[in-house]
Chains A and B, each alone.
Chain A
């Protein structure tokens, strides 16, 4: 019963390097989300997906790309990392509309990324 798993948990990048964060969920959820958390700003939505093969921009998409080739995986890519992308990244998922009592979002444990 893993829920939402994020890898890696920690990473330090140099400016200009690229990397991919992986989010995997085993709950057959349709919707998946990537957020970043910064002090005093709460969590802000980067990109999201409403189903396999579809992605959309959130509130702060610049500098990031995403892909959802398989329903269970949602990848977040940084093509050329910048210090402003130092943050904690959270992935979340939730099922499509169904029984109201089950409505909820499941979060991963986060990835702490530092760009130097």
Chain B
């Protein structure tokens, strides 16, 4: 079974400072990895995803994440945050090779709330 751990439930950060959100997963098989962002009172928006190839993935709004298979991690980074980055961020994992009956479902971490301070 898959599981995802987001190590920080809240991350306060000053505007224009860098931020890193940590995500570790456990899975016995190969995985696809995702980061989603949820702005206040809104739905989920895909930031980026790792499916294969380069382990450094670039997404929208200046975010990037690095897949580290040996450490089973997929940490999200942004070199300089804006007030508008205040949101909750979710890491998720999917088993792409799972049998159809298993649904290839997404398993989410508990989320990390980022509060950007002026």
Q: Which residue on B lies nearest to A49, using beta carbons? A: B103
User: Which of B32, B42, B52, B110 lies in contact with A41, CB distance below 8 A?
Assistant: B110
A-side contacts of B46, CB under 8 Å: 104-105
Total A-B Cβ pairs within 8 A = 62
Would A42 and B110 count as touching, CB distance under 8 A?
yes
A-side contacts of B108, CB under 8 Å: 35, 42-44
A-side contacts of B52, CB under 8 Å: 100
User: Which of A40, A107, A109 lies in contact with B111, CB distance below 8 A?
Assistant: A40
Residues 32-72 of B at the A interface (beta carbon under 8 Å) = 32, 34, 36, 42-44, 46, 49, 51-52
CA distance A48 to B42 in the complex (A): 22
Would A48 and B105 count as touching, CB distance under 8 A?
yes
B-side contacts of A33, CB under 8 Å: 103, 105-106
A-side contacts of B107, CB under 8 Å: 45
Count class of interface residues, chain B? 20 to 34
CA distance A56 to B99 in the complex (A): 13
B-side contacts of A45, CB under 8 Å: 105-107
Contact with A along B1-20 (1 / 0, CB 8 A): 00010100100000000000
Contact with B along A86-102 (1 / 0, CB 8 A): 00001010101100110
A-side contacts of B51, CB under 8 Å: 100-101, 103
A113 at the interface (CB under 8 A from B): no
Residues 70-93 of A at the B interface (beta carbon under 8 Å) = 90, 92
Could you list which residues of chain A lie within 8 angstroms of chain B, going by C-beta atoms?
31, 33, 35, 40-45, 48-50, 56, 58, 90, 92, 94, 96-97, 100-101, 103-105, 107-110
For the complex of A and B, list the 10 residue pairs with the smallest distance between their C-beta atoms, beginning with the closest. A42-B108, A109-B43, A43-B108, A107-B44, A42-B110, A48-B103, A42-B111, A110-B43, A42-B109, A107-B43
Could you list which residues of chain B lie within 8 angstroms of chain A, going by C-beta atoms?
4, 6, 9, 32, 34, 36, 42-44, 46, 49, 51-52, 90, 92, 94, 96, 100-101, 103-111
